[in-house]
Amino acid sequence: MKLTLAIHEVSDAKLGSGTTLDGGVLTVDADELREAILEDRRIESVDIEVANPGQPCRIGVVFDILEPRAKEPGTGSDFPGLLGPMAMAGQGTTHVLRGTALTVVDAQQEPGIASKMMEMHGEAAVNSPYGNLHHVVVVPHMIPGTPRHVELNALRLASARATVFLGSAGVGQEADSTEEFELDGPSTNREDVPRIAYIGQIHGHQMVVEEDERILYGSNTEGMVPVTLHPNEWMDGAVVCSYWVMRVETYFYQNHPIIRELYRRHEVGEINFVGTVATVAASLEADRNRNCLLAAHQAKWNLNADGVVLTKYGGGAPHVDMGETARICEALGMKTVVQVSDSSGDRRAESAMLFNYPEVDAIVYGGGGDIAWDVEPVERVIAGSPAVAQALAQMTQIPAQALCGVTNQQGASVVRAVVY
């Protein structure tokens, strides 16, 4: 299966008349974008702004961040099962506005322990992988009285619609470059190099999913068992983040760092990248045992892997599930690497140790919540309400767990652990 990304480099973004991409400048017609989002009658109004790197601007509370993309007509479905008709993702040509992001603000959420924000200037911005992107920010406001789960569903559909609307500015234009991703499947043999698989959690069921939540091909993952996916499916709209951001944004499913790195090593002949398994972290012990066992055995018997890279979705319970899956993989003869985020607030190894299997000894740090950056108050805040705007404007310190992308479960963090 082959996926071609037609890359259109964007060096600036602004609001203006007509939505166009010209000379690397993305001009967004706010009225056109607003009209596309307001196709959903549950949304009463939409605020639209642009925030560029280096501007003293703060954004929150963030629902999701996505890269503007749109399929070449006739080559596939945009967000199949969620926005477009059900089809296999990961094929055909997808136009990408590289250097931009669509940032969706949840106007109904107040800042809290699970909320996220963006800082566009200073040291905090440098330490986020999103700080150097040109953000088109949309703030949908729901019709009063809308149930919370319906609001969240509307936000999810709005994020998909707006992403495709912006990405369509590249359709019909010559791309600055192309990237191709193609794997023949797990049956392909390469002598003398290890067969490597990826097992990634796409939700943690300690956060109960809503009936109308959309995560995998429009499914809410309730009752899901591990499923084998082609790597391209992750990067082409099959998977979006859940309503609980939990250190994961859709942008880095679209640009999955681990999948891209495994592809790179596959292409230079260092490994044989044989495929991926999508799984969920369980809330019940019986579900945990089943999912960990099935994910490991799919990597072993369906993909015939020699080694596995594993990531989690969320905090402590997913951390334990990932560790148990890795332990089973090791028992089946597959070497493992796990990526963890530091769950301790006191910087002590004892506080962060949620599993301790001697055989699971290759551990990569993906950022933690034990650091913070001092910041100055700002005049410009893009938020869903005056109360949230005032709270964000007056912040003098931003903790890592509040800043999008610093602690990143997909491997995109730009910070690392140092032992003194």
| pLDDT at residue 303, rounded to an integer | 97
**HSE (side-chain half, CA atoms, 13 Å) at 82:** 29
Predicted pLDDT of residue 414 = 83
Domain boundary assignment for the chain: 2-178, 184-373+382-389+398-402
- The pLDDT, as a whole number, for residue 315 is 76
Q: What is residue 93's three-state secondary structure?
A: strand
Verify cis geometry, omega within 30 degrees of 0, for the bond prior to 61.
Answer: yes
Percent of the chain residues topping a pLDDT of 70: 94
Residue 369 has pLDDT above 90, yes or no: no
Q: Is the pLDDT of residue 355 over 80?
A: no
**Which pLDDT does position 237 carry in this prediction?**
98
User: Hey, what long-range contacts does 220-224 have (CB within 8 A, 24 or more apart)?
Assistant: 221/280, 224/279, 224/280
pLDDT at 10 over 90: yes
| Mean pLDDT of the residues in the chain | 93
Distance CA 187, CA 386 (A): 57
Instruction: Give tens-digit pLDDT for 307-340.
Output: 999 999 877 788 899 999 999 999 999 999 999 8
Each residue's pLDDT tens digit, 80-122:
999 999 999 999 999 999 999 999 999 988 776 567 999 999 9
Sequence-distant (≥ 6) Cβ neighbours of residue 35 within 8 angstroms: none
pLDDT recorded at residue 113: 56
CA distance to 186, 344, 346, per residue, from 349 (Å): 38, 8, 9
Alpha carbons 38 and 290: distance in angstroms, whole number: 42
pTM of the model: 0.95
Span 207-252, pLDDT tens digits: 888 899 999 999 999 999 999 999 999 999 999 999 886 678 999 9
Write the pLDDT tens digit of every residue in 150-209: 999 999 999 999 999 999 999 999 999 999 999 987 777 787 999 999 999 999 887 888
DSSP conformational letter for 168: G
pLDDT value at residue 257: 96
pLDDT at 269 > cutoff 70: yes
Say if residue 344's pLDDT is above 90. Answer: no
Looking at beta carbons, which pairs linking 411-416 to residues 24 or more positions away fall under 8 Å? 411/252, 411/256, 411/257, 411/258, 411/261, 411/311, 411/339, 411/364, 411/366, 412/129, 412/252, 412/255, 412/257, 413/129, 413/366, 413/367, 414/126, 414/127, 414/128, 414/129, 415/127, 415/367, 415/371, 416/365
- Block residue for tokens 């996926």: 3
Residue 26 pLDDT > 90:
yes
pLDDT of residue 352: 62
Using 50, 70 and 90 to split pLDDT, how confident is the model at 367? low
CB atoms within 10 A of CB 127: 20
* Predicted local distance difference test score (pLDDT) of residue 319: 87
Q: Predicted confidence band at 408 (pLDDT cuts at 50, 70, 90)?
A: confident
Distance CA 169, CA 337 (A): 39
